């Protein structure tokens, strides 16, 4: 189940808001300029389907978002616990960073934890299968896929080069919960 917790940026232990209601999550995030929606597949998809089949199952939502946001490329990323590079990949996303364009992710399967550093608060968004999140350009954030990543996601980019991060140099991400502790809650 998707969840939003909001923390003061100085306290990663005590949330000031917590909800697993999708409408409440979307409303809180919309107030910060963050898109959060649910998508339904237009046809059957199964574990191990090739990227073309995954993209075809969400074609109309992808087309709508591409038209609205001017995205130039779309791809599918799939990570499993058996990936030999999982530790390096996880570490790549754990420090606070920004992007010069929106970071758009739709979770076809599995889950991940986005933390957005906005207006003196940290918005911790547990994204699950069916969730789309669009983190606006230049938003300070980090992402945790956990020590045993298991997800398939559709990514949309304006820059055909794809994901390019600028680290902020802040250590704030180390003061907030990691995804492995989320699975136990």
Task: For the chain, 185 residues long, give each residue's pLDDT as a single digit of tens.
Answer: 999 999 999 999 999 999 999 999 999 999 999 999 999 998 888 777 899 999 999 999 999 999 999 999 999 999 999 999 999 999 999 999 999 999 999 999 999 999 999 999 999 999 999 999 999 999 999 999 999 999 999 999 998 776 788 999 999 999 999 998 555 44
Reduce the secondary structure of 82-151 to three states and give it as a string. CCCCHHHHHHHHHCCEECCCCEEEEEEEEEEEEEEEECCEEEEEEEECCEEEEECCCCEEEEECCCCCCE
The pLDDT value given to residue 164: 83
What does the alpha-carbon distance between residue 105 and residue 121 come to, in Å, rounded to a whole number? 22
Q: Is 146 within 8 Å of 93 (Cβ atoms)?
A: no
Per-residue pLDDT, 182: 53
Helices (H) and strands (E) in the chain, counts: 5, 11
* Count of residues in the chain: 185
The rounded distance, in Å, linking the Cα atoms of 89 and 92 is 5
* 5-17 CB burial, b ≥16 within 10 A, e <16: bbbebeebeebee
- Please tell me the total count of domains within the chain: 1
CATH, residue 174: 2.60.120.10
Dist CA 173 CA 185 (whole Å): 19
Nearest alpha-carbon partner for 147 in 106, 95, 103, 112: 112
Domain of residue 87 covers 3-11+18-183
End-to-end CA distance of the chain, in Å?
Answer: 12
Residue whose C-alpha is closest to residue 165's, from 114, 94, 112: 94
User: What is the three-class DSSP state of 16?
Assistant: coil
Q: Which helix (H) or strand (E) holds 59?
A: helix 59-69
pTM for the whole structure? 0.92
CA separation for the pair 148, 165 (Å, rounded): 23
């Amino acid at each position: 189940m998707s969840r939003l917790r909001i923390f003061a940026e100085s306290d990663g232990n005590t949330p000031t808001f917590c909800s697993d209601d999708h409408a409440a999550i979307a409303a809180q995030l919309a107030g910060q300029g963050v898109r959060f929606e649910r998508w339904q597949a237009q046809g059957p998809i199964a574990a191990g389907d090739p990227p073309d089949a995954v993209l075809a199952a969400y074609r109309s939502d992808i087309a709508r978002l591409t038209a609205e946001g001017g995205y130039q490329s779309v791809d599918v990323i799939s990570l499993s616990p058996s990936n030999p590079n999982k530790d390096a990949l996880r570490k790549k996303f754990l420090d606070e960073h920004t992007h010069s364009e929106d970071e758009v992710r739709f979770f076809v399967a599995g889950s991940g934890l986005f933390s957005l550093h906005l207006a003196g608060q940290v918005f911790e968004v547990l994204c699950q299968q069916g969730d789309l999140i669009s983190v606006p350009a230049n938003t300070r954030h980090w992402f945790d896929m956990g020590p045993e990543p298991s997800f398939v996601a559709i990514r949309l980019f304006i820059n055909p080069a794809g994901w390019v991060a600028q680290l902020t140099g802040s250590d704030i991400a180390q003061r907030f919960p990691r995804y492995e502790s989320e699975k136990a809650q």
